[in-house]
């Protein structure tokens, strides 16, 4: 466009008009109550800095484009009503504590996003660039696609609500968020993305909220990234195309604590830390972990270990073993007074095992050098075990008896 306009209604906030042939379509913007009224969906392009304070009576914009290329500028967007698409390509967008409720799509390929208000998106969400320290909750309010593939500091959503009632959220790419909430979805489908991953970036305030009646959630792999100690609630009814879940320590020696059951069905679970002589841990406490093959440690040479623990909970698994070449000193299995239901084997080779009378049912227990004591029920005897007591069960293998 030929000219650049700085819109500043602060001097006459209640009534003013702007005519700009090359800025608005239609050409006239006219006052509407306490805010800026646009006669019909239009495009507002900010080409320099300033605050954009529209109040409560803003009509729909066809687009708000933030393009501050070449400027050291910040726009503060303060709205709590309907907006058209938001496309942030450069510069800075600061929402403060105000909500965006809703915009018809949100696309971010550059610039910075800050604020704490909620962002409701009645359409697609696409985060492909830029940085953010926004702490509010994102909600996809209509069926659409969602993508935030980069992750890590400055690239992770604080929390996102997917698959609300009547909504199917389709993963156009991987999605990184500190927290996820899932709804009932449309036709029983909440999230669809069989070739993509959900990354839960765990750092104290992370969360996983999945009600019992949540719609189906499909993805390729579920990745739980430990940036700090944290906790997650009940995880269940996932469809995993690669049949795999990873708990990965990004920051050394951190623990994910369960505050609900983790039901991964038959999916393989790997708990690992990529740094030598360091570890990542999953603490199930009194809850139940259901999984297929459980592997402790990173398979790479000189990599770190994985730790898995119970107090009085249950491990319902196919097998437990350490990863090839992982750091033996950092792989640990703490069973306390819990119960292990095993259909294949528990291999204690180079795994530090502690127990306070835990019960192991079914499968083969081998090379378990236990500090404390394990009671084995219906499991096949094998060599290399210490402090393992055979207790033939009259009700057969694979039946959980609660530890005393």
**Arithmetic mean of pLDDT, 116-144:** 95
| Token pair in block for residue 371 | 């500090």
Residue identified by tokens 């795994």 is: 351
Structure confidence at residue 105 as a pLDDT band (50, 70, 90): very high
Average pLDDT in the chain: 80
Of 163, 102, 152, nearest to 127 by C-alpha is 152
| Least confident residue range of 20-29, 101-110, 192-201, 295-304 | 20-29
For the cut 50, the answer to whether the pLDDT of residue 133 exceeds it is yes
| Least confident residue range of 39-48, 62-71, 205-214, 263-272 | 39-48
- Under DSSP, the state recorded for 83 is B
Residues forming a β-bridge with 389: 375
Structure confidence at residue 159 as a pLDDT band (50, 70, 90): very high
Distance, CA of 277 to CA of 167 (rounded, Å): 45
**323-380 tens-digit pLDDT:** 987 766 899 999 999 999 999 999 999 999 999 999 999 999 999 999 999 999 987 7
**4-35 tens-digit pLDDT:** 333 333 333 322 223 222 333 332 333 333 33
Helix, strand, coil % over all residues of the chain, rounded to 5: 0, 50, 45
The residues, ordered by sequence, that sit 6+ positions from 344 with a Cβ below 8 Å of its Cβ are 293, 318, 319, 363, 364
Structure confidence at residue 91 as a pLDDT band (50, 70, 90): confident
For the cut 80, the answer to whether the pLDDT of residue 404 exceeds it is no
Pairing of strands 18-19, 28-32: antiparallel
Q: What is the DSSP string of 257-287?
A: EESS-EE-TT-EEEEEESSTT-EEEEE-TTS
**Arithmetic mean of pLDDT, 200-227:** 94
Structure confidence at residue 83 as a pLDDT band (50, 70, 90): low
| Token pair in block for residue 350 | 């180079």
**246-299 tens-digit pLDDT:** 999 999 999 999 999 999 999 999 999 988 889 999 999 999 999 999 999 998
**Arithmetic mean of pLDDT, 61-68:** 42
Is the bond preceding residue 102 a cis peptide, omega within 30 degrees?
A: yes
**Arithmetic mean of pLDDT, 219-226:** 97
The residues, ordered by sequence, that sit 6+ positions from 86 with a Cβ below 8 Å of its Cβ are 63, 64, 66, 93, 100, 103, 105, 106, 107
For the cut 80, the answer to whether the pLDDT of residue 308 exceeds it is yes
Residue 85 has a pLDDT of 85
pTM of the model: 0.81
Where do the DSSP E strands lie in 210-351?
216-226, 230-232, 238-249, 254-258, 262-263, 268-273, 279-283, 288-290, 293-296, 305-309, 314-322, 332-336, 339-347
- Burial (CB < 10 A; 0-12, 13-18, 19+), residue 265, is middle
Residue 209 has a pLDDT of 95
Distance, CA of 83 to CA of 56 (rounded, Å): 12
| Token pair in block for residue 103 | 């915009």
**Arithmetic mean of pLDDT, 65-89:** 55
Distance, CA of 207 to CA of 179 (rounded, Å): 4
């Amino acid at each position: 466009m030929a000219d650049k306009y700085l819109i500043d209604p602060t001097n006459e906030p209640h009534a003013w008009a702007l005519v700009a042939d090359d800025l608005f379509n239609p050409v006239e913007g006219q006052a509407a109550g306490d805010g800026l009224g646009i006669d019909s969906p239009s495009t507002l392009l900010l080409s320099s800095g300033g605050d954009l304070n529209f109040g409560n009576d803003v009509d729909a914009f066809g687009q708000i484009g933030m393009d501050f290329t070449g400027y050291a500028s910040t726009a503060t967007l303060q709205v709590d009503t309907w907006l058209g698409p938001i496309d942030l390509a450069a510069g800075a967008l600061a929402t403060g504590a105000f909500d965006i409720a809703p915009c018809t799509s949100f696309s971010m390929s550059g610039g910075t996003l800050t604020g704490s208000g909620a962002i409701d998106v009645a359409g697609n969400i696409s985060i492909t660039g830029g940085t953010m320290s926004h702490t509010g909750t994102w909600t996809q309010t209509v069926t659409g696609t969602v993508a935030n593939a980069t992750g890590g500091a400055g690239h992770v959503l604080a929390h996102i609500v997917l698959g609300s009632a009547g909504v199917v959220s389709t993963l156009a790419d991987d999605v990184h968020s500190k927290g996820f909430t899932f709804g009932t979805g449309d036709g029983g489908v909440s999230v669809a993305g069989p070739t993509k991953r959900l990354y839960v970036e765990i750092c104290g305030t992370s969360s996983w909220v999945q009600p019992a009646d949540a719609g189906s959630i499909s993805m390729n792999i579920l990745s739980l990234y430990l940036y700090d100690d944290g906790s997650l609630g009940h995880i269940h009814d996932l469809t995993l195309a690669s049949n795999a879940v990873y708990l990965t320590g990004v920051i050394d020696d951190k623990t994910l604590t369960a505050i609900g059951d983790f039901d991964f069905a038959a999916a393989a679970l790997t708990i690992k830390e990529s740094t030598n002589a360091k570890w990542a841990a999953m603490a199930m406490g009194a809850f139940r972990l259901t999984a297929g093959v459980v592997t402790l440690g990173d398979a790479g040479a000189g990599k770190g270990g994985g730790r898995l623990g119970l107090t009085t909970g249950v491990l319902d698994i196919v097998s437990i073993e350490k990863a090839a070449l992982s750091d033996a000193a950092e792989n640990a299995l703490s069973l306390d007074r819990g119960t292990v239901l095993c259909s294949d084997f528990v291999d204690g080779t180079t795994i530090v095992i502690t127990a306070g009378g835990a019960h192991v049912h079914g499968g083969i227990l081998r090379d378990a050098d236990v500090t404390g004591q394990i009671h084995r029920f219906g499991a096949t005897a094998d060599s290399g075990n210490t402090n393992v007591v055979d207790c033939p069960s009259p009700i057969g293998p694979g039946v959980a008896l609660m530890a005393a």
